[in-house]
Chain A
Amino acid sequence: MKIGLPSIPSTLRGAGPRHVLPSIRTPAITAITANRRLASSLSQRPNSKYVQFPGAVKSAFTNTLSFEQPESHEAMPTYRIVDQNGHVVDPSFKPDLSHEEVIKLYRDMLLVSIMDIIMFDSQRQGRISFYMVSAGEEAVTVGSSSALSKEDVIFCQYREQGVFAQRGFTPKDFMSQLFANKNDPGKGRNMPVHYGSKELNIHTISSPLATQIPHASGAAYALKMQHLHSPSTVPPRVAVVYFGEGAASEGDFHAALNIAATRSCPVIFICRNNGYSISTPVLEQYRGDGIASRGVGYGIETVRVDGNDLWAIREATKRARAMALQDGGRPVLIEALTYRIGHHSTSDDSFAYRARVEVDEWKRRDNPISRLRKWMEAAGVWDEAKEKEAREEIRRTLLKAFQEAEREKKPPIRAMFEDVYEKVTPDIEREIAQLRDLLERYPDEYDVSDFEGGKDSLK
């Protein structure tokens, strides 16, 4: 109860709160208090072994002063199904996908990985302004995404090309955004890698870290309400949000998990813990047991998964989705441990802060693509020839899309003024006219030929 009385006159103390409080409350306050008390009030029972303070009702009394030691808890275990050699280590595991379906996921991972190399180089050649690879994290994204329903709503950070690929983003879609041409739904406003898709139910990526995490909680609440309102037409859905372990240090992470728990939101939080936030290693990011240990603190069911194991992440996400939709909805946290094999972005040289040999070892010894490949080979559905053919075919498709996207016109200049509000405001209309006037009077100062419609789009 927050309606407290900080200063009860001493003459009245000792008579017991039940006796005193109503007598000095105004009638209005008493009425409100009485109603609220019915819902949430607790009182200390005589000789109880448990604290009945409202803040923690199941806490036992102790007469030993002892601080909880983080070190006394073992690190949360990491779930895996397939080991580094492609061997199944969880005997209860049964693949729930056909061979064709597994191959499709493998090809999605390959697509992302090959696109990484092409686009990283093309940025180096100055053909696009920026790029971020996702090498080492293909299984986390493809595997988790494959366990969701197409109607589930996804929020990404930026290193989740695998989610887009798995959901059906085509090479043309990727390239249109990267080259910011007229087919980019973002209309050339966002930096490269800030993809979004309405049809695939993936929200457009924004650069500020962690802001998308509370969005997912709010979206999950919306999805829950919409299903409650129209159970026959709106299926039960979850919201899913991806973020790195660095982003989890932002206040928005805290806000999002807490509100998701208190409002019982059907949301799956997926943390890609790849060991680095740009140059900052995890030891400078946190001192607890990763991100997973925090989920429990918020009252959220949590699992830690080997992020290089597509089967494990898929299985964990599948289970998480079912749990998130149970009993009116609740949040689930998955921490996927991986290693960021590539540089943070094209603006980063990661060998300035970590040894090349460390990276090479991860690439060689354990990476998600080779692990699934070993599993597929052991299952007899993949071989060297198929691998070669798949890689060549994917590379050809990507290069074709690359060339077409590069040749395409840019969006009309007018697009820079639209979508700030639902309708273009009079202020902005006036500014459109001002820019048009400038371009007309200084035609040699601006090259508008790349833009669809040239300066005429400003009419």
Chain B
Amino acid sequence: MTKSHILRPLMRATAIRAAAPVPLSGLSIPTTSRLTRPLAPLTSTFSQQRYSTHPPNAKLNLPIDYSTTPLLAQTSQSALHNPELPASVRDQPTKRMNLFQAVNDALSIALAEDESVLLFGEDVAFGGVFRCSMKLAETYGGDRVFNTPLSEQGIMGFAIGAAAEGMRPVAEIQFADYVFPAFDQMVNEAAKFRYRDGACGRHVGGLTVRMPCGAVGHGALYHSQSPEALFTHIPGWRVVMPRSPLQAKGLLLAAIRSNDPVVFMEPKVLYRAAVEQVPVAAYELPLSKAEVIKEGTDLTIVSYGQPLYLCLNAIKQAEQDLGISVELVDLRTIYPWDRETIFKSVQKTGRCIVVHESMVNAGVGAEIAAAIQEDPETFVRMEAPVLRLAGWSIPTPLLFEKFNIPDVARIYDGIKKALKY
């Protein structure tokens, strides 16, 4: 694979500067990296124009302010208020963490509590190109946290073999874009392992595969993809994507402890941008359970991962402009998904929009829309067609990213369309 030589040094350089103030825009990793600094005195305006400028008169496509969004627990109190946390955890303190630190925390807990947990992948030992495995090799030993050769099919095959013999491997694919060499192992082996072993009872349920996914402002074709819809077409895998540090910790621990193989997709744009109070104790959030983030009566928006922040901004503006009330649901587990919660919400509102970054055709939105129209009790309550707001039917181009993935303006416009129907 040729990937790392392109973006890895850049990612690494930016990741190392994690202590720096979190940029306001979640859609870009700062471009004034170590690589460019000695060469030419690029003005900050120039670099911002290339990747993260917002037009001066924009009202909708503004930077996401992660420091004030209600999607993140800005205070310890709001973090512990979460009713899904066990009472014992709600008595404990919290700590401010960004998403990579929350992932690191979950991995550390998993390694500490169960010696069958292993952590490996490309460049994991020194801390990972996104810093998710910082200090874990030092703490838990090179036998349990280690680098593999650069081969995704090898990583996956090795993980399956270890899981089949009772270990709980957490394999890392450096970018979701590079999971495809491992697809045969995932589709034909991991997914079918329990099924074909039948009464023998062996399985690879201890297996978790982590992969950074999603757009990052300048990731182009091979550092931006979100292949979750492909995984949802494989019986045997659970597919999870968190939207925040608190979720990442709870869902990742649930994934590692789950006896089914789990694809755990981490929106990399949130690694440093999303910071919130996270309980320090170990806890799980339930798999295959959606979360109603915001109640509403006129329209349901279903999404997952980073676009939820965009949805919330669009909803805020639409509610103000149109005098309506929108319900926002975070799918969290993309497969097997929580139909009940979605159907219940849509039965109430009669309208639904599904938002995701990856291509619209045969995406997650297609499944949700089809399931809604197929469910007799939900179908009869529908007052408008289900709308899918997703990436266009193209690869993720470098320069045109902001025109490709759904943004606040598109979601805002979608809300208007759904309500006008």
Contact = CB atoms under 8 A, between A and B. Distances in A.
Contact of A259 (B13, B35, B148): B148
Contacts of A28: 16-17
A219 B38 contact: no
A153 B35 contact: no
Interface residues of A, number: 64
B38 A255 contact: no
Contacts of A7: 35, 38-39
B184 interface: yes
A204 B235 CA distance: 19
Contact of B189 (A24, A196, A211): A211
B189 to A, nearest CB: 5
B14 to A, nearest CB: 11
Contact of B185 (A214, A219, A221): A214
Contacts of A198: 197, 200-202
A251 B259 CA distance: 28
A203 B196 CA distance: 10
Interface string B184-206: 11001100101111111111010
Interface in B240-264: 259-260
A161 interface: no
Given A2-B8, A198-B201, A219-B164, A262 B158 contact: no
A219 B162 contact: yes
B118 interface: yes
B115 A258 contact: no
A208 interface: yes
A143 B144 CA distance: 35
Residue among A36, A216, A239, A263 with max Cβ neighbours from chain B (10 Å) = A263
B126 A36 contact: yes
Interface string B159-181: 11111111101000000000001
Nearest to B206: A222
A256 interface: yes
B189 A251 contact: no
A258 B189 contact: no
A216 B161 contact: yes
Contact of B200 (A26, A196, A228, A427): A196
A185 interface: yes
B307 interface: no
Nearest to B189: A211
A273 to B, nearest CB: 22
Given A36-B126, A196-B200, A197-B200, A217 B260 contact: no
B113 interface: no
Contact of B188 (A36, A208, A216, A220): A208
A189 B200 CA distance: 13
B211 to A, nearest CB: 18
Contacts of B35: 6-7
Contact of B198 (A187, A214, A254): A187
A421 B160 CA distance: 15
A421 B336 CA distance: 10
Nearest to B157: A214
B153 interface: yes
A-B pairs, top 9 by smallest CB distance, nearest first, are: A214-B157, A218-B161, A255-B154, A215-B161, A218-B158, A222-B165, A185-B199, A218-B162, A219-B161
Interface of B: 4, 8-9, 12-13, 16-17, 34-35, 38-39, 115-116, 118, 123, 126-127, 143-144, 146, 148-149, 151, 153-167, 169, 181, 184-185, 188-189, 192, 194-203, 205, 235-236, 238, 259-260, 288, 336, 339-340
30 contacts: A5-B38, A7-B38, A29-B13, A36-B126, A185-B198, A186-B200, A189-B198, A190-B196, A204-B196, A208-B189, A211-B189, A215-B164, A218-B160, A218-B165, A218-B169, A222-B167, A225-B167, A252-B154, A252-B185, A255-B149, A255-B151, A255-B157, A259-B149, A259-B158, A420-B235, A420-B236, A421-B238, A421-B260, A421-B336, A422-B205
